[in-house]
Structure 1
Amino acid sequence: MISLRVIARLLDYPEQALFDHQQELVAAMEPASELDLHHSAQLILFIRRFCARPLLDVQAEYCELFDRGRATSLLLFEHVHGESRDRGQAMVDLMDQYRQAGLEIDSRELPDFLPLYLEYLASRNKEDARGGLQDIAPILALLGARLHQRQSPYAVLFDLLLALSGTEVKSTSLEEQVAGEARDDTPQALDAVWEEEQVKFLGEQGCASAQQAAHQRRFAGAVAPQYLDVAQATMGIKGR
């Protein structure tokens, strides 16, 4: 599914190369049949508007949206296991899935980073890719609902992923739940998390939280080269 690779690139940290190759991104959608005309037009419109903005503004917005707080984190297991010990084993299991598919990631990247998982699914056949999206459909819907609430343009990408999954799960069904949530990206909420982590890691020199590591992630070089050569810009979590 070429559209999965395109969405994976759009959900990764914005780089100049993405902006330079926006025409290739759009062109890659022409032969794609997995999205209907309406959804394909939505994705192309997102690309046009996304790349029309100053890169520094887009990068700042990305960090504010996905790296502050956990509610909109792109680390999938954050929404499943939180800080529990089960998260570590889930990471190991997912890494095994990637290796069995011929994919390797470097030490800078966490295996449950959504763009990486989408890249993995894009390398599978259509049936497996849809099954992988269905596995994470509840997470996609929750993230989509939170992004809609924040009036973020990124919300449409999650609606498109749900459409590709073929499930009946929709972000709109979670609007009421999300409306009652307390924001975790306010200065007060972030200070509370920082104080908690300071106590937790006091005296552990060199220890960085997963949230700090997320700021350093970069997708380039994280997957096997044969999956990166799509015009230089284009591109389940089973738990069983």
Structure 2
Amino acid sequence: MNDTLAWQCASLLLAYPDEEQRSHLELVGDVAARLPDRLGRPLTDTATALGARPLQGLQEEYVATFDTRRRCSLFLTYFLHGDTRKRGTALLRFRQTYLRSGHALDDSELPDHLAVVLEYAATVDPEQGRRLLLDHRAGLEVLRLALRDLGSPWAGAVAAVSATLPTLRGDERDAVRRLAAEGPPEEEVGLSPYGQAGPVDLPLPTVLSTVPSGGAR
């Protein structure tokens, strides 16, 4: 329950900032306050930081952070495959995983966007959602470290997601170091059938709106 609530909070916080998201930051803060400190504190930090910034400036910062910095991509397959044809195959595997759980995305959503993956993991299939996160753990950790080093307001949301996963093993730490040093592949040869990127708007996560008082611990 704690992990799924943390994933739901992080999903909302990592979506493109708009008025709807802003109206739910207080709810995220209330849920985060009932989570263990290792999960709740970083989520609270992000919710507080987002609420303190003017919306237009926050939107500009979101684009500058996630759309222009290679180590800050919210698209998990990008870290392994960059903009190469292999990424198209990886995206198809994400969508097939969702479909096996009876979950269909519309065409406006790329299935590897971290906010989309977290929403799926929290509300549809926690086991398969966790597996997707673990399969792309190196990229997730590179994103976490990059946001931390930038002092980004979104750093806490990704740190909370990382805290729901097992401690990195030696070979995993090596993979993170290599990826952080080298960055994603740069060859651009097409992503058919998935070539769309950009901000992802998500509805209010359903679990957050149904959590009973005191039920997160």
Superposition TM-score, scaled by structure 2 size: 0.76
Match of 2:197 among 205, 214, 222: 214
- Radius of gyration: which is bigger? 1
Counterpart AA for 2:70: R
Residue identity opposite 1:3 in structure 2? A
- Residue 10 of structure 1 aligns with an amino acid whose one-letter code is L
Q: Tell me, what secondary structure is at the counterpart of 1:231?
A: helix
CA distance 1:122–1:132, change in 2 (3 Å): same
**Between structures 1 and 2, the one with greater helix share:** 2
1:67 is aligned to 2:45: no
Q: Quickly say closer, same or farther: Cα 1:119–1:169, change in 2 above 3 A.
A: farther
Letter in 2 for 1:106: D
- The 8 Å contact of residues 74 and 114 in structure 1, kept in 2 or not, is answered as yes
Stretches of structure 1 lacking an aligned partner (at least 5 in a row): 183-192, 202-208, 233-240
Q: Which residue in 2 is equivalent to 1:20?
A: 23
- Given that residues 22 and 47 in structure 1 are in contact (C-alpha distance below 8 angstroms), is that contact kept between their aligned partners in structure 2? yes
Instruction: Look up the equivalent residue of 1:11 and give its one-letter code.
Output: L
Query: Structure 1's 75 and 42: CA in aligned 2 closer, same or farther, altered over 3 A?
Result: closer
User: Once the two structures are aligned, what percentage of the paired residues are identical?
Assistant: 26
Q: 1:63 to 1:164 in 2, by over 3 A?
A: same
Distance 1:82 1:181, change over 3 A: closer
C-alpha distance after superposition, 1:14-41 (max 9, x if no partner): 0111111222112233554xxx224312
Match of 1:135 in 2: 135
| Amino acid corresponding to residue 149 of structure 2 in structure 1 | Q
Alignment match, 2:7? 4
Match of 1:57 in 2: 57
Counterpart contact for 1:130–1:166, Cα < 8 Å = no
Q: Aligned residues, how many?
A: 201
TM-score (ref. length: structure 1): 0.69
* Residues 128 and 83 (structure 1), Cα distance of their counterparts in 2 relative to 1, 3 Å cut: closer
Q: How far apart are 1:139 and its partner, in Å?
A: 0.9
Distance 1:80 1:44 in 2: 30
Report if aligned partners of 1:148, 1:155 keep a CA contact under 8 Å in 2: yes
CA distance, structure 2, for counterparts of residue 215 and residue 29 of structure 1: 27
**Deviation string for 1:173-212 (max 9, x for gaps)?**
867984x669xxxxxxxxxx9xx98xx89xxxxxxx94xx
**Deviates most, 63-72 or 4-13:** 63-72
In the aligned structure 2, how far is the partner of 1:216 from the partner of 1:26? 23
Q: Which residue matches 1:205?
A: none
Pairing of 1:167-206 with structure 2 (within 5 A): 167-168=167-168, 178=180
- 1:50 and 1:78 map into 2 onto residues whose CA distance is 25
Q: 1: distance between equivalents of 2:105 and 2:77?
A: 17
How many Å separate the matches in 2 of 1:24 and 1:168? 31
Q: Structure 2 CA distance, aligned partners of 1:75 and 1:6? A: 18
- Which structure's relative contact order is higher, taking Cα pairs within 8 Å and 6+ residues apart? 2
